[in-house]
Amino acid sequence: MGGSLAWALKGQVNSLMAADPDSHTRDQVRSAGLVESIVENPEEILPLSDVVILAAPVGSILELIPKIPDWHPGQAIVLDLGSTKEQICKQLEKLPSRFDVLGGHPICGQVQGGFEHANPDLFRDAIFAFSDLSNTSARCRRFGEDLAASIGAIPSWIDPIQHDYILSATSHLPYILAAALCLNTPEGSILYRGPGFESSSRLASTNRRMMFDVLNSNRHNILQQIDQFKYILEEFKDLLQQENNPKLLALMDRAAAIQKETTREVL
């Protein structure tokens, strides 16, 4: 997502600088001429930055935030792009008052990661969730909305706790279900996996490091969603065992109606 954001912002800001621990990624970014400077260590560029955007796995963001005051001696806006918000926003609120902080999460993405798959149109028409904190200024809120508009996204304001609860159902549980579907697939069935399997299992190949951090940082909400989903599976199981076709059809119709309504709301 960091590379996609950089492409989307290119030409819209005075300068872009980046830090990435991976030397191959740094070489790719330099070859593309995407940023003015890309370094291995964030402390080399942070003192020059008016805005610090943390586009990294949740665990890395949580490690980086406490180091920012030592790396940046002045004032700056600090925005994160983490997939979960509660833990990150608590850390952001601990930063000194000279930092204007804002939690953020563009609700978009793609299974294939890495700079080679960066897409400047990734954010177009996507919801960009923002969480303002006790030390978020009106200026910082305007910055968030302007940033979203500049990359074609739609800003939406949400409490960090509510964000994590909702995303546990709409994003994090779907990953677990996709992984479980793959693990449940019989050996030797590859020739018989149709488009339904492909679309349903797609998320299982999402970057492991990123999803590991998501699952651990939103553990309590995800556990609740798993319990709820087990209840729904049992409902399907009971209706099949009872051969209760009228109720089974009604349950299927209700699911289809929810899916259509959800799609219509997103569009």
All residues at 6 or more sequence positions from 207 whose CB lies less than 8 Å from its CB, including other chains: 57, 113
Distance, in Å, from the CA atom of 220 to the CA atom of 168, rounded to the nearest integer, reads 9
Question: Looking at the chain, which residues constitute the CATH 1.10.3660.10 domain(s)?
Answer: 163-266
* pLDDT at 209 (0 to 100): 92
* pLDDT at 191 (0 to 100): 86
Q: Is the pLDDT of residue 112 over 80?
A: no
Span 98-102, average pLDDT: 97
Q: Is the pLDDT of residue 79 over 70?
A: yes
Residue type at position 261: E
* pLDDT at 118 (0 to 100): 75
Span 94-116, average pLDDT: 87
Check whether domain 163-266 has CATH 1.10.3660.10, yes or no: yes
Q: In percent, how much of the chain has pLDDT > 90?
A: 79
Q: Is the pLDDT of residue 212 over 80?
A: yes
* pLDDT at 10 (0 to 100): 84
**8-state DSSP, 186:** P
Check whether domain 2-158 has CATH 3.30.470.10, yes or no: no
Does this model's pTM top 0.85? My answer is yes
CB of 72 within 8 A of CB of 52? yes
pLDDT digits (tens, 9 = 90+) for 139-188: 999 999 999 999 999 999 999 999 999 999 999 999 999 999 999 999 88
Q: Is the pLDDT of residue 90 over 80?
A: yes
* pLDDT at 148 (0 to 100): 96
* pLDDT at 1 (0 to 100): 54
Distance, in Å, from the CA atom of 125 to the CA atom of 122, rounded to the nearest integer, reads 9
For the chain, the average pLDDT equals: 92
pLDDT digits (tens, 9 = 90+) for 64-76: 999 999 999 999 9
Q: Is the pLDDT of residue 119 over 60?
A: yes
pLDDT band at 113 (very low <50, low <70, confident <90, very high): low
* pLDDT at 266 (0 to 100): 47
Give the start-end residues of each E strand in the chain.
17-19, 37-39, 51-54, 76-80, 99-106, 127-132, 154-157
* pLDDT at 267 (0 to 100): 43
Question: Looking at the chain, which residues constitute the CATH 3.40.50.720 domain(s)?
Answer: 2-158
Distance, in Å, from the CA atom of 39 to the CA atom of 23, rounded to the nearest integer, reads 9
